[in-house]
Structure 1
Amino acid sequence: MTCRKNVSQLTRGEKARLVQAFLDLKASAPSRIPAAQAAVVAGGGTPNRYDDYVWLHNTVGLGAHRGPAFGPWHREFLHQLELDLQQVSGDAELTIPYWDWTTDRDAASPGWPFTTDLMGGFGNAGPGPTTGYVTTGPFGSPASWRMNIRRRGDADLTLKRSRGVPTPAQLPSREEALFGLGVGVPAGGPWPGVYDGPPWNDASTPLTDAQVLASFRKYLERILHDGVHVWIGDAWELDPQGRPRDGGHMTFPATAVNDPVFWLHHCNVDRLWAIWQRRTTTPEHRPQAAGTADPGHNGDDPMVNLATPSWFAAVLHRRPNDVQDHQRLGRYRTDLPGITLASPAVPFGEVPERSAAQMPVAFSVRTCQPVTFRLTGVTGDGFAPGDPDVVTVEHDPVSEIVAALVPVAYEARGPVGMPQTGTATIAASIVDTDGYDAPGGPGAPLTVGTWAVELTATTVAGRAGQAPPVAPFRDAIPAGARPQPGTGPEPDARSLAGAAGPVPGGGRQHGPAGGQGSPVGGRGGLDAVAAAGGGHHDAHGEEARGMGGADDGHGTHEGHEPHGVHDHDAMAFTMFHLTPAGEVVEVRPDEIERDTSGYDDGADPGTAPPVGPDPAEEPPGLA
């Protein structure tokens, strides 16, 4: 079972393998999409698998943005790219990490991705022909990371980002994320508790604050997603309406995937959607009925650009309804564990008088983070907590399921031949590193389950003079089925407890562990979306449609004839923030402050920008 990690949890080796996999997709992995091949050749490049993904996002347009398919489309997009990274690297455990921009917001943060050994730094400050050029890190040279699919009029072959390091104040805040997830919202208070609502497709429809705050998809896309694109990409040439004409690749949907940090950003966006899905009582995709929203956005619609199996090496999930369970496609270290009690009853059987025995209560656990089981209470004559009474199991990359074996003891002191009964109560908990679920906030323990298990035992007569032996816990497990930490196979929980249940797989277990509807306000607010998302004339006087969409406004299907420099690419992402007063306001790219130290055009191209501390090969803790 693979688990997507926070950037802060990556070892140096994991960073190196991820970077190399990206480079290999660009350098040597063959393209699978004929139209993408033609687009890359027209742009002067050599067709490759990575640019297939650039082309898919370049041509999908409104098929994946400004509508209900935003979440499902990008979830499957992430999944397919991750599988290609695994294939090209030969590493089945390689996953896309997530950049949590609500906490890791500057170079001093452990999860800062803009380091020379991961995503590289930001762009030259300019002004001049190399404004925005990234010159540090593994993606800073067109010799190995060439921009083959570009916007019309952009001949730059070098990856471009913000002119220096943007101020962290303009990244989405933890408070904005908490509101979207309904954390701390008063009972009955407004929050985006349903996935989407009318207007379903809102590229050219003015939205009120109330509409954005009532729809999680709109809130996720507008407030938590779009602004990070602008924060990374910047814009240094604006039209009279304040819309970007030139800037970094992440600012424009048509070219955003040229920047590999796209994937780290969208991994976090998908993670937040997954957290919302488990917190809301109405997680299902909306709308379901065909024809309610634009084609590709309804529950059973084939999604645009994701309906042609020959374009992908892996099984394709084509419809929004196919990707609602994110754990089928990619788990996160912050996912709550799945725990099944494999032994609802523990029969000790016959125990000789004046002796003691231990038997395990068995659980099967699917987890991406440590889970601690505590024996919180034992009732019944002769029954007692076993040793240890606290057991922690961890994720094992080899096994889908790990076994948690919590010992319970019985001392045979009751009347001979009289069955004894009791109950063991066991609680499982994790450390909620995000603080999205635990009442105590980040780092507080969160109970994820409590179980009552029936205990039975019968004291039988022993031989005269027999010493009262104490049966070691592991001796109570059938021979040949004793768990070995970190290895498999593990014992079958059904053979351990004599009860039906899922079969625990390999895993690690150890003893006691430490605790673990007002109109839009501001300057134009969301009313600006009508101008930004609808058709408008670009700098060349030609009409561009919506979110970088294809000419039909719904994206590109198989058979569309692309070209190397696309003419449906004038749309740019827009940054919005939720104020403490509950208003949605726009922030223009030229209002974002930047630190240009070390990013002037005269700087040594080999000079690294400020970077945060790199974690050790085995970083402590979980994020």
Structure 2
Amino acid sequence: MLSCCSVRMFLFAMGLLLVILQPSTGQFPRVCANTQSLLRKECCPPWDGDGTPCGERSNRGTCQRILLSQAPLGPQFPFSGVDDREDWPSVFYNRTCRCRGNFMGFNCGECKFGFSGQNCTERRLRTRRNIFQLTISEKDKFLAYLNLAKNIPSKDYVIATGTYAQMNNGSNPMFRNINVYDLFVWMHYYASRDTLLGGSNVWRDIDFAHEAPGFLPWHRAFLLLWEREIQKITGDENFTIPYWDWRDAEDCVICTDEYMGGQHPTNPNLLSPASFFSSWQVICTQSEEYNSQQALCNATSEGPILRNPGNNDKSRTPRLPSSSEVEFCLTLTQYESGSMDKMANYSFRNTLEGFADPHTAISNISQSGLHNALHIYMNGSMSQVQGSANDPIFILHHAFVDSIFERWLRRHRPMLEVYPAANAPIGHNRENYMVPFIPLYRNGEFFISSRELGYDYEYLQEPVCLLMEMYSSACCVKLCVSLQFIGGRGGSLIYVYPV
């Protein structure tokens, strides 16, 4: 028979059980990809729940003019008014939904990250897990979800196949349907593509997702939105992205047919035909062709995924990153420094991104460390910035990079003001909206702990210690409650043990 104290401990644990639910998001909302919306420069669709724009009748949000940051930018981009991504998204829309409280989405029909429930008032937390710790059925389900995303059209979003000028300033919309997986490949391309200056002229020193302070927040938002879209198309509200812990790996242990695809038996640059990833077609990999045509990637197929891990230029990337390099990076106290680009010294962001030496934190763009090292090591689709998301290893890799970012946030507990408010490269100031997300998110919104955004990492979880007083049998115990949320199993597990 359980003692009184044991019963109370059990009831306390049961009271902490959470039910996790969550909706979705992406790029150009389909309902706003039309002449009327572009000419009016307004994207304020009705929420299905009450039929009013932004769910205004239900007090979810209102249609408002976008407030753009006026903070000065760094000198890296010396132009103005030549790129649709400047002052995002004002070239396309200057009025969008501004959601209230915990509501989110292009029509305020969803909950902010970290909240769920009909009125978005319930807090929730999911756990991202090491892919090698998944059961066979969990791993196979993840792979099946990837394949589903590659083969199902996005319901809510389309991509732009021309610039605003090529759309005749909105009177000739140029948009195209796309599958869910490729939607995110295209978004990664669009954020990092070159600026088209007319004729055969381009400007390459521009990137709204890399080489500057927004690198880590941008990819954090990207993964959250991708995760949410998978939850939507599968109906699996508990789905989370797994991560690959590549520290000290001697080779690409994830590159097997059981996981992300082995090597082709006769062509080392291709994937094994035993993996269904071998049939995937890549998009947005021919940047020089787009530049010469002054065109955008229109998401037509461009061939199979390429990957030849370990056969890269060893003088640039001799091996995969080590644990000691990660630990050194975490000791850096400055998030950003100096020019706030790939030349920054003693910058945590630049060292983790891989443009600074992971032993000294001094910029060295002839070498590729940490994050960049993994991309270069893969020696294929992953090694080209604009099209790197074509390889599904991208997701596992960036989930682990995000976990290192999370470790730094928890160790140093920076104030929001640590993230630069001004003089960063274009698009990377704290209050700049991230390209090309609609609904809108500012860089600073993701410079917070992952737990505030509703997720944690399995290897970072720490017991939450609570002091409980049991007013019977003089029972007073201190409990450590370790929250373990197991995606895809319909709920959460909680382990309670006395200390």
* C-alpha distance in 1 between matches for 2:389 and 2:274: 17
Aligned twin of 2:222? 77
How far does residue 10 in structure 1 lie from its aligned partner after superposition? 1.4
Aligned twin of 1:42? none
CA shift in 2, pair 1:368/1:287, >3 Å: same
CA shift in 2, pair 1:125/1:137, >3 Å: closer
Aligned twin of 1:133? 270
How far does residue 29 in structure 1 lie from its aligned partner after superposition? 3.6
- More strand as a share of residues: 1
TM-score, reference length from structure 1: 0.46
Choose from 243, 257, 266 the match for 1:116: 257
Where does 1:171-570 land on structure 2 (aligned, <5 Å)?
Answer: 171-182=320-331, 192-202=332-342, 207=343, 211-212=344-345, 214-222=346-354, 223-232=369-378, 234=379, 248-280=380-412, 282=414, 284=416, 286-289=418-421, 291-306=422-437, 308-309=438-439, 317-327=441-451, 328-337=453-462, 339-343=464-468, 345-348=469-472, 357=473, 359=475, 361=477, 363=479, 365=481, 367-368=483-484, 402=494, 404=496, 406=498, 426=499
- Larger gyration radius, structure 1 or structure 2: 1
Aligned twin of 2:242? 97
CA shift in 2, pair 1:319/1:259, >3 Å: same
How far does residue 341 in structure 1 lie from its aligned partner after superposition? 1.7
Contact 1:56/1:305 (8 A) holds in 2? yes
How many pairs were matched up? 320
* C-alpha distance in 2 between matches for 1:296 and 1:218: 16
Aligned twin of 1:386? none
* C-alpha distance in 2 between matches for 1:28 and 1:98: 24
- More helix as a share of residues: 2
Where does 1:36-51 land on structure 2 (aligned, <5 Å)?
Answer: 47-51=178-182
Regions of 4+ moved over 4 Å: 36-39, 123-126, 152-156, 163-169, 394-401
CA shift in 2, pair 1:46/1:38, >3 Å: farther
**What is the percent sequence identity of the aligned residues?**
28
Query: Does 1:88 pair with 2:233?
Result: yes
* C-alpha distance in 2 between matches for 1:283 and 1:23: 40
Write the letter of the residue equivalent to 2:306.
Answer: K
CA shift in 2, pair 1:88/1:272, >3 Å: same
How far does residue 149 in structure 1 lie from its aligned partner after superposition? 2.9
TM-score, reference length from structure 2: 0.57
Write out per-residue CA displacement over residues 546-572 of structure 1, whole angstroms, 9 at most, x where no aligned residue.
xxxxxxxxxxxxxxxxxxxxxxxxxxx
- The answer for unaligned runs of 5 or more in structure 2 is 1-124, 164-175, 193-206, 290-300, 355-368
Contact 2:208/2:427 (8 A) holds in 1? yes
CA shift in 2, pair 1:216/1:147, >3 Å: same
CA shift in 2, pair 1:163/1:218, >3 Å: closer
Write out per-residue CA displacement over residues 108-165 of structure 1, whole angstroms, 9 at most, x where no aligned residue.
xxxx321212210246775xxxx622234534433xx222333147884111011676
CA shift in 2, pair 1:259/1:285, >3 Å: farther
* C-alpha distance in 2 between matches for 1:285 and 1:364: 33
* C-alpha distance in 2 between matches for 1:283 and 1:196: 13
Contact 1:124/1:163 (8 A) holds in 2? no
How far does residue 80 in structure 1 lie from its aligned partner after superposition? 0.8
* C-alpha distance in 1 between matches for 2:319 and 2:341: 27
CA shift in 2, pair 1:18/1:405, >3 Å: closer
Write the letter of the residue equivalent to 1:148.
Answer: I
* C-alpha distance in 1 between matches for 2:127 and 2:220: 15
- The answer for unaligned runs of 5 or more in structure 1 is 40-44, 183-191, 235-247, 310-315, 349-356, 370-393, 407-425, 427-623
CA shift in 2, pair 1:366/1:83, >3 Å: farther
* C-alpha distance in 2 between matches for 1:64 and 1:297: 8
